[in-house]
């Protein structure tokens, strides 16, 4: 297992809550970090979906009958075949 350095105040909070939850500090830290990272990934996906929706009218004209791949609000690739596009991006 890899070590993560926590400031003493945060570690004490983790220790206290782990005791209350009857889990190890490692387990609680892993669960908390995993949950936080999942939320960040969802926020990133939501941001991409929002950018897509905002640009949809223009995309439908510029890429008629095409699938588009977007990253950070920008079209990074497009193709008429979804599998081909998927394999590239």
Residue 35 and residue 26: Cα distance in Å, rounded? Answer: 14
| pTM of the complete model | 0.71
> Residue 76: which pLDDT band, with cuts at 50, 70 and 90?
very high
- The whole-number pLDDT of residue 75 equals 95
- The two most distant CA atoms of the chain are separated, in Å, by 58
- The whole-number pLDDT of residue 74 equals 94
- The whole-number pLDDT of residue 32 equals 97
- The whole-number pLDDT of residue 31 equals 96
Phi-psi region of 30 (alpha: psi -120 to 50; beta: other; left: phi over 0): alpha
- Assess whether pLDDT exceeds 80 at residue 42: yes
Mean pLDDT of the chain: 95
Structure-block tokens of residue 9: 């105040």
% helix, strand, coil for the chain, step of 5: 65, 10, 20
């Amino acid at each position: 297992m890899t070590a993560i350095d926590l400031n003493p105040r945060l570690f004490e909070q983790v220790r206290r809550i782990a005791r209350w939850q009857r889990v190890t500090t490692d387990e609680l830290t892993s669960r908390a970090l995993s949950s936080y990272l999942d939320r960040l990934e969802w926020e990133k996906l939501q941001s991409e979906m929002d950018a897509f929706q905002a640009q949809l009218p223009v995309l439908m004209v510029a890429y008629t009958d095409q699938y588009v791949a977007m990253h950070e609000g920008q079209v990074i690739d497009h193709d008429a075949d979804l599998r081909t596009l998927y394999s590239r991006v």
